[in-house]
Amino acid sequence: MSRIAARFKQLRARGRKALIPYVTAGDPRPGVTVSLMHAMVEAGADIIELGVPFSDPMADGPVIQRASERALEHHTSLRDVLGMVRGFREQDQKTPVVLMGYLNPIEVMGYEAFAAAAAGAGVDGVLTVDIPPEEAGELLAALKRHALDAIFLLAPTTTGARIDSICRAASGFVYYVSLKGVTGASHLDLGEVETKLADIRAATDLPVGVGFGIKDAATAAAVAGLADAVVVGSALVSRVEALADRPEAIAPALAGLLAEMRKAMDER
Amino acid sequence: MESSVPTSNRETYCNQPDEQGHFGPYGGVFVAETLMAALDELRVNYEKYLKDESFLAELDADLAHYVGRPSPLYHARRWSRELGGAQIYLKREDLNHTGAHKVNNTIGQALLARRMGKTRIIAETGAGQHGVATATVAARLGLECVIYMGAVDMVRQEANVYRMRLLGAEVRAVESGSRTLKDALNEAMRDWVTNVDDTFYIIGTVAGPHPYPAMVRDFQAVIGREARQQIRQQAGRLPDALVACVGGGSNAIGLFHPFLDDEEVAIYGVEAAGDGLETGNHAAPLCAGRPGVLHGNRTYLMEDGDGQIIETHSISAGLDYPGVGPEHAWLKDCGRAQYVAATDDEALAAFHALTRIEGIIPALESSHALAHAAKLAPTLDKDRIILVNLSGRGDKDMHTVAAREGIRL
């Protein structure tokens, strides 16, 4: 069983929903990322989603775009990100780590070389934003060879037939994008989320995470009532941005928000 | 990645892309799931209306009476004589309404948008030519229009920003990344994801996810269809060579496509060599880049060793793009077209030559094609024919050319 599957099984047994924070690796500088990952686990994160910086993050809103830019000012490469995961694994062998990013850096490294290096570094899952299952055959095969889970997005506009084919290609969990738009947008419609999650659950037994638009403890708790996992990105990254000049203050700030979310999710 | 199979005995070069938008190993659909439904809706409608006689009649009428087609094919006799070799013919896309080939495509997509019931048009623009062509057709059809433009480009192309605003478009400055065309494209995609119900995204070149590369090509192929007929009427035969500049590559594919199966016609796409390919300051992914994935398709890119897209340089803002249409990538690999490059200086020399010798002021983009024609012509006999796509007029480039020569306007 993969580390991700094991984690969801364990959470389910305890009646707990997964809290999945996202930060961009190398933001605001490469040296702080590993300590942020540990601080987030300490504050109640169950799985860490680590963004791989890319020059053209087409699906991201301004907050995560700027995080990529800060990381790229320090030339944070895919190899560097794998190094950070390796560093994290020196102290934490239990918390699953999912890489989230765009295809081109993986293309340049080569699918097989990437999958081997990621598995060797201690990565558990890979979410490549801009590769739909139709184009992903060879990448999926490489990930599978190295026992890495392939995480895919589902959108409000994803039709029934596509939900089936995406869920068949996915492993670990699937990630429902809770609104039309880019990361960090507002207007989360819980009614719409509930309806769509029912369609998704009819298609798969995989755990379902919900993200895009979860800003505070209240929305986290509300989403936890519907989904198996709550993904929080821009709300955290905007705190990183605000404290970019005081990196020592970032970990406590992220931990504070996550602890509030954790508490609200567990007490709902 | 599947490998392409270039063969010399293929039956046709005109059967691309496949149903999923692949030109050999290039093209495809590489976007987030949030865009898949919109692309699917677009593909279904494009396939439907491309066979719809009333749509095609509407398009043809607009091309004739609004754009001013057919554009002339002009034999540049004095310049040909000066160069001392092949005869050069210019396909005068500069004479289209709005001054470039861009409008062929924006008319087509805007009419499609209206048929699909979309009320809001968005577009990206670099130099502003595609933005102006989009704002123009949006004005005419009474559609709301938002143009995304890099903040750096807005400063470089102030006059076009004003032109778009006069036409009623809202021009939004893009402050992310390198603040140029590629970032404007990212931002337009983000808008589309967010407003997908009422919004139609008019991409300006033969790049992006399927069906854009095929759809934009089909709207631009009017250039090559006319040119093929015109050169036969004027010279009694097909040309020996076609030459067109390649940024994203829409004017080039528009000229090339109807000639792809005429294997006796040599095809040259001319990229921007900027300060020179050896300097690294250029915008020539086919000549000096390598395959990767950007903006929804697999194609040749300008990228660093980590897969990050790098900034490009060209004196011509319209060629200043780190990718290229996937059909060009495929034509390069199968050897049907050759891709070369012209530097800023070579393009400027051709700009001045055509202006003084023929009384035609070409766009700096088109000047790259002219520069290659000027290299090619003297190597060919006087009875040979080179057909160059003069994709746009140079009025928009007055400030750039003057500044380069130390003149303030």
How many beta-carbon pairs below 8 A join chains A and B?
122
Residues of B in contact with A106 (CB under 8 A): 307
Distances (CA, A) of A257 to A23, B28, B220: 13, 40, 53
The nearest alpha carbon in chain B to A62 belongs to: B176
Which residues face A128 on adjacent strands? A101
Mean pLDDT of B213-223: 98
Distances (CA, A) of A140 to A2, A149, B6: 16, 9, 27
Query: By CB neighbour count within 10 A (0-12 exposed, 13-18 middle, 19+ buried), where does A207 fall?
Result: buried
Measured in degrees and rounded to the nearest 5, phi and psi for residue A24 equal -85, 125
Q: What gap in Å lies between CA B67 and CA A165, rounded to an integer? A: 45
- pLDDT, residue B6, reads 47
Is residue B124 flagged as an active site residue? Answer: yes
Q: Is the dihedral of CA B163, B213, B367, B70 positive or negative?
A: negative
Mean pLDDT of B301-329: 95
> What angle separates helix A78-89 from helix A111-121, to the nearest 10 degrees?
20
Residues of A in contact with B208 (CB under 8 A): none
C-beta atoms surrounding A41 within 10 Å: 20
Residues of A in contact with B308 (CB under 8 A): 54-55, 72, 104-105
Nearest to A78 among B183, B301, B307 (CB): B307
- CATH number of the domain that residue A221 is part of: 3.20.20.70
Please indicate whether, in this complex, the C-beta atoms of B186 and A58 are within 8 angstroms of each other: yes
Q: Residue A184 corresponds to which tokens in the numbers above? A: 């960090």
Q: Which of A27, A46, A49, A228 is catalytic?
A: A49
Distance from CA of A220 to the nearest CA of B (A): 22
Per-residue pLDDT tens over the stretch B232-287: 999 999 999 999 999 999 999 999 999 999 999 999 999 999 999 999 999 999 99
Which residues face A50 on adjacent strands? A23, A99
Amino acid identity, position B279: T
Nearest to B293 among A103, A155, A177 (CB): A103
| Pairing of the two strands B170-174 and B144-150 | parallel
Mean pLDDT of A167-191: 85
Identify the CA nearest to B96 among candidates B389, B398, B407, B399: B389
Q: What gap in Å lies between CA B128 and CA A93, rounded to an integer? A: 53
Q: What gap in Å lies between CA A77 and CA A98, rounded to an integer? A: 16
Q: Residue B324 corresponds to which tokens in the numbers above? A: 């290229």
Quote the percentage of chain A above a pLDDT of 90: 91
> What angle separates helix B344-358 from helix B364-376, to the nearest 10 degrees?
90
Is residue A266 flagged as an active site residue? Answer: no
Please indicate whether, in this complex, the C-beta atoms of B183 and A56 are within 8 angstroms of each other: yes
- pLDDT, residue B9, reads 54
Domain count, chain A: 1
Please tell me the number of Cα atoms within 13 Å of A168 on its side-chain side.
Answer: 10
Q: What gap in Å lies between CA A120 and CA A113, rounded to an integer? A: 10
Distance from CA of B33 to the nearest CA of A (A): 6
- pLDDT, residue A182, reads 74
> B6 — contact with chain A (CB < 8 Å)?
no
Note down the domain range covering A50. 3-267
Computed over every residue of chain B, the mean pLDDT equals 95
- pLDDT, residue B1, reads 40
Q: How confident is the model at residue B92 (pLDDT cuts 50, 70, 90)?
A: very high
Per-residue pLDDT tens over the stretch B159-201: 899 999 999 999 999 998 889 899 999 999 999 988 989 999 9
Which residues face A154 on adjacent strands? A176
Please indicate whether, in this complex, the C-beta atoms of B38 and A152 are within 8 angstroms of each other: no
Per-residue pLDDT tens over the stretch A16-50: 999 999 999 999 999 999 999 999 999 999 999 99
Nearest to B30 among A103, A158, A162 (CB): A103
> What angle separates helix B102-115 from helix B33-49, to the nearest 10 degrees?
100
> B186 — contact with chain A (CB < 8 Å)?
yes
Is A118's pLDDT higher than 80? yes
Q: What gap in Å lies between CA A105 and CA B324, rounded to an integer? A: 18
* Contact criterion met (CB below 8 Å) for A20 and A230: yes
Nearest to A162 among B32, B36, B305 (CB): B36
* Contact criterion met (CB below 8 Å) for B320 and B178: no
Q: Considering only A70-74, B151-155, B380-384, which range has the smallest mean pLDDT?
A: B151-155
Residues of A in contact with B34 (CB under 8 A): 59, 153, 155, 157, 177, 180-181
* Contact criterion met (CB below 8 Å) for B92 and B390: yes
* Contact criterion met (CB below 8 Å) for A124 and A99: no
Amino acid identity, position B148: Y
Is A268's pLDDT higher than 90? no
* Contact criterion met (CB below 8 Å) for A78 and A53: no
Identify the CA nearest to B375 among candidates B83, B55, B169, B1: B83
Query: By CB neighbour count within 10 A (0-12 exposed, 13-18 middle, 19+ buried), where does B155 fall?
Result: exposed
Distance from CA of A242 to the nearest CA of B (A): 18
Quote the percentage of chain A above a pLDDT of 70: 99
Per-residue pLDDT tens over the stretch B335-356: 999 999 999 999 999 999 999 9
* Contact criterion met (CB below 8 Å) for A158 and A133: no
- pLDDT, residue B156, reads 79
> B189 — contact with chain A (CB < 8 Å)?
yes
Identify the CA nearest to A49 among candidates A9, A88, A13: A88
- pLDDT, residue A186, reads 67
